[in-house]
Chains A and B, each alone.
Chain A
């Protein structure tokens, strides 16, 4: 709905409508926009950032959130070597083929496997999280209004104390950007929560930015290919359409 905000604001500018966007219950703050290396016509992902973001995902998010649509082999796209990918995969156990007696077995995950979820099923996930289900993160930046901007805002939008007069539910945290402001996830990022291999200082903002970039890649791994092809396709179409126009003019020159 909000994706069409452009059209709606145009109408609002025409004076037809007050530009009040339908905000969900609670006074969620407007989401500030951020600079992303992957936005814009020629945007690409920053590999170093994606790797840092992957570190944050592995050390902070992966304890509760699955990433079930991404395979370990996909990590090659963010610059991990084959051996690194094998090592990351091998940390997890997955179901194997039954053995010769028909008994179920397990084996270490291989690069072709998808990210192994932290909990075997939804019940286990809820039991470990006070009844709430931590959502899968594979499509998170596409599945929320505001996309990466929203995700970043959410990660840095925690406040230690709820404002005066707000009754907080059991185990809930106050987040200024979350619809309704009460979120079951406790503030996930704390200063220095991870050690970045490249020596970048792990501030909350830095980690939020990095992991959001990583999850943007996880949601749209085709983004770079898509934009690269898009530029070529548009250039081709503009030339082709120009030629069509020239021929059309020539053909029509004798009419009237």
Chain B
């Protein structure tokens, strides 16, 4: 590829009429990037890479898949057994879903740690949340397509959630199903939308990139680049670093695809869907487990529910909380009142960040367990549903109460003057109070 400096006549001719080469030169080569990005900044480009892998393998799987309740399960097995390298395509796609969520969750937690959602990156962050929501919808519908037991019962449980909506709930569910049960019309529309949504994701990813290249990348110090001494061009520095990241990621990915392809899966999904047989434990894929735990935390006697029990059913409260746990992310830029971005300079927030991460892991474990199982053998009566209720309460406490309070109460550490001189001359002579001044605009 030409570098767009006009060496080639054809490139010049095109570029004068449609400046694609200039654009690529600007955004992919010259794009000034903070020079101190750590490996945690690899996960954005990695997510883009996985998206491409998923679309390519998905299109090829679609060539061999039959979206009909009588043939879907068998057509997937035909891919596994008779299509050339079909098992490879299917295992890449199936594990790719889990990889996508691993990468994106790390990307999101990086943003939380380094305050990447704060001014001026609010819209960049919100576009990211939209991508997450689209991904979740896509993954949910994709999981239904093999038409195994967990596909069917997962779809039944999740679509039934909408019946909690007052007055119109039942009608909404019928409308979603295209009938009076999860049946062939449901499978057909899920297939259609599962094909469509990834391209919507591509669209939002483009907007995410435009916003990123406008506000520029955040960095581990959370301070703005002051000039050329703080940045390096994207190419070759970060292209090369991203290649290395992709290599490491592919080793991890290939390990699952080739040696433990069903690690993330449920054995029940190798049994064809049967509306007459309910599996003993209906569990969603691992990346939905924390939300599932939040949903199931809302029982009649849950202390968060009791005050609002006159207003709505516990089921509706659970559904609202589950969706709310994602939608609250849209409000983060305004819930967080601290002017300091990076947790490196926020000693108290940093502790709570790790607590929140552990809390999310526990929510995931709770989501995988039967609600009335005992958590500890030595603590009679403490069930997973109780653990889920505590961790659910913390989840919302963290964002809704802690975030606004910490910004006011916490004394941030002194912030370095610039990226290129991260160590303060004289060793922290800047008064702690000075750090509380509002962050300068980009």
Residues of chain A whose beta carbon lies under 8 Å from any beta carbon of chain B: 1, 3-4, 8, 11, 16-18, 20, 22, 24-25, 41, 69, 74, 135, 138-139, 142-145, 147, 179, 219, 221-222, 225-227, 229-231, 233-234, 237-238, 240-241, 244-245, 247-248, 251-252, 255-256
Q: Is B411 an interface residue (CB 8 A)?
A: no
Using a CB-CB cutoff of 8 Å, which residues 243-275 of chain B contact chain A?
243-244, 246-248, 250-251, 254-255, 257-259, 261-268, 270-271
**Which of B5-13, B119-127, B178-186, B278-286 is the contact stretch?**
B278-286
- Residue A221 contacts which of B81, B286, B361, B369 (CB distance < 8 angstroms)? B81
Rounded to whole Å, the gap between the CB of B338 and the closest CB of chain A is: 29
CA of A179 to CA of B281, assembled, Å: 13
Q: Establish whether residues B247 and A41, one from each chain, have CB atoms under 8 Å apart when the complex forms.
A: no
Using a CB-CB cutoff of 8 Å, which residues 354-395 of chain B contact chain A?
361-362, 365, 368-370, 373-378
Contacts A16-B362, A18-B376, A234-B255 given; does A251 touch B263 at CB 8 Å = no
Name 22 A/B residue pairs within 8 A (Cβ), A-sorted.
A1-B281, A1-B283, A8-B365, A18-B375, A22-B281, A22-B369, A69-B74, A69-B81, A143-B271, A219-B270, A225-B87, A226-B87, A229-B258, A230-B257, A234-B258, A237-B254, A240-B247, A244-B240, A248-B244, A255-B35, A255-B232, A255-B237
Q: Establish whether residues B236 and A227, one from each chain, have CB atoms under 8 Å apart when the complex forms.
A: no
Rounded to whole Å, the gap between the CB of A199 and the closest CB of chain B is: 32
Residues of chain B whose beta carbon lies under 8 Å from any beta carbon of chain A: 35, 74, 77, 80-81, 87-88, 91, 232, 236-237, 240-241, 243-244, 246-248, 250-251, 254-255, 257-259, 261-268, 270-271, 280-281, 283, 286, 361-362, 365, 368-370, 373-378
B80 partner residues in chain A, CB cutoff 8 A: 222
- Residue A244 contacts which of B244, B258, B261 (CB distance < 8 angstroms)? B244
CA of A3 to CA of B370, assembled, Å: 16
Q: Establish whether residues A234 and B365, one from each chain, have CB atoms under 8 Å apart when the complex forms.
A: no
Contacts A222-B87, A251-B240 given; does A18 touch B247 at CB 8 Å = no
Rounded to whole Å, the gap between the CB of B38 and the closest CB of chain A is: 13
B241 partner residues in chain A, CB cutoff 8 A: 248, 252
B259 partner residues in chain A, CB cutoff 8 A: 41, 227, 230
- Residue A139 contacts which of B246, B263, B270 (CB distance < 8 angstroms)? B270
Rounded to whole Å, the gap between the CB of A16 and the closest CB of chain B is: 7
- Residue B237 contacts which of A1, A74, A144, A252 (CB distance < 8 angstroms)? A252
Q: Establish whether residues A233 and B262, one from each chain, have CB atoms under 8 Å apart when the complex forms.
A: no
Residue of B nearest to A243 (CB): B247
Q: Establish whether residues A245 and B244, one from each chain, have CB atoms under 8 Å apart when the complex forms.
A: yes
Residue of B nearest to A233 (CB): B254
Q: Establish whether residues B247 and A4, one from each chain, have CB atoms under 8 Å apart when the complex forms.
A: no
Q: Establish whether residues A143 and B270, one from each chain, have CB atoms under 8 Å apart when the complex forms.
A: yes
A3 partner residues in chain B, CB cutoff 8 A: 262-267
Q: Establish whether residues B251 and A241, one from each chain, have CB atoms under 8 Å apart when the complex forms.
A: yes
B370 partner residues in chain A, CB cutoff 8 A: 22
CA of A19 to CA of B255, assembled, Å: 27
Q: Establish whether residues A18 and B254, one from each chain, have CB atoms under 8 Å apart when the complex forms.
A: no
A248 partner residues in chain B, CB cutoff 8 A: 240-241, 243-244
- Residue A20 contacts which of B232, B281, B374 (CB distance < 8 angstroms)? B374
Rounded to whole Å, the gap between the CB of A223 and the closest CB of chain B is: 9
Report which residue of B81, B248, B361 has the largest number of chain A beta carbons within 10 angstroms of its beta carbon: B81
Rounded to whole Å, the gap between the CB of A200 and the closest CB of chain B is: 29
CA of A73 to CA of B160, assembled, Å: 44
Q: Establish whether residues B365 and A11, one from each chain, have CB atoms under 8 Å apart when the complex forms.
A: yes
CA of A249 to CA of B144, assembled, Å: 44
Rounded to whole Å, the gap between the CB of A61 and the closest CB of chain B is: 17
Q: Establish whether residues B362 and A24, one from each chain, have CB atoms under 8 Å apart when the complex forms.
A: no
Q: Establish whether residues A230 and B254, one from each chain, have CB atoms under 8 Å apart when the complex forms.
A: yes
Rounded to whole Å, the gap between the CB of B293 and the closest CB of chain A is: 14
CA of A179 to CA of B267, assembled, Å: 15
Contacts A41-B259, A241-B247 given; does A18 touch B374 at CB 8 Å = yes
